[in-house]
Amino acid sequence: MNTSTLRQIISKAALVLSAALLPANVAFAEGGDGGGFASLIPLILIMVIFWVLLIRPQQKRMKEHAAIIKALKKGDKVITGGGIYGRITSVKDNVVMIEIADGVIIKAKQDTVGGLQESPKPQEKKDKKDK
């Protein structure tokens, strides 16, 4: 999910939230007794919106990343969190050795591996041959 989509969702959520809070504010201004639970409804709504839009997707990404880290093995082509592309030469404890060029091997913490490199699509290879 990119940032512009996230911002649109958050702005829509803020609009819904303001519409939900308006009746509670009007009732309070008129001196009406809304009760204890009725005043908690907007707060609960805010927490649900934050959970759905922010917390749940982040937890899902963290689980996916943990699964990728756990499955790393020798020969995998990876990209680190710092943007370095390479191939894993060994995995020991929480450390991976990554070959970034012929004969150039770096040591990195296993959890700094951002993910596996995506192989180019077959159509892209065909386009390169045409050039």
Res. 5 pLDDT band, cuts 50 70 90: confident
Residue 98 has pLDDT above 60, yes or no: yes
Q: What's 107's DSSP letter?
A: E
Identify the three-state secondary structure at position 104: strand
What is the model's pTM?
A: 0.57
**Same domain assignment for residues 11 and 35:** yes
**Same domain assignment for residues 66 and 42:** yes
Q: 128 in a domain, yes or no?
A: no
Q: What's 84's DSSP letter?
A: -
**Same domain assignment for residues 13 and 64:** yes
Q: Based on the number of CB atoms within 10 Å of its own CB, is 11 exposed (0-12), middle (13-18) or buried (19 or more)? A: exposed
Q: 14 in a domain, yes or no?
A: yes
**Using CA atoms, how far apart are residues 26 and 51, in angstroms rounded to an integer?**
27
Q: What's 83's DSSP letter?
A: S
Between 29 and 17, name the one with better pLDDT: 17
**Same domain assignment for residues 83 and 63:** no
**Same domain assignment for residues 62 and 118:** no
Structural domain including 10 reads 3-70
Least confidently predicted of 10-14, 15-19, 114-118: 15-19
Considering its fold, how many domains does the chain have in total?
A: 2
What is the percent of the chain with per-residue pLDDT over 90, rounded to a whole number? 49
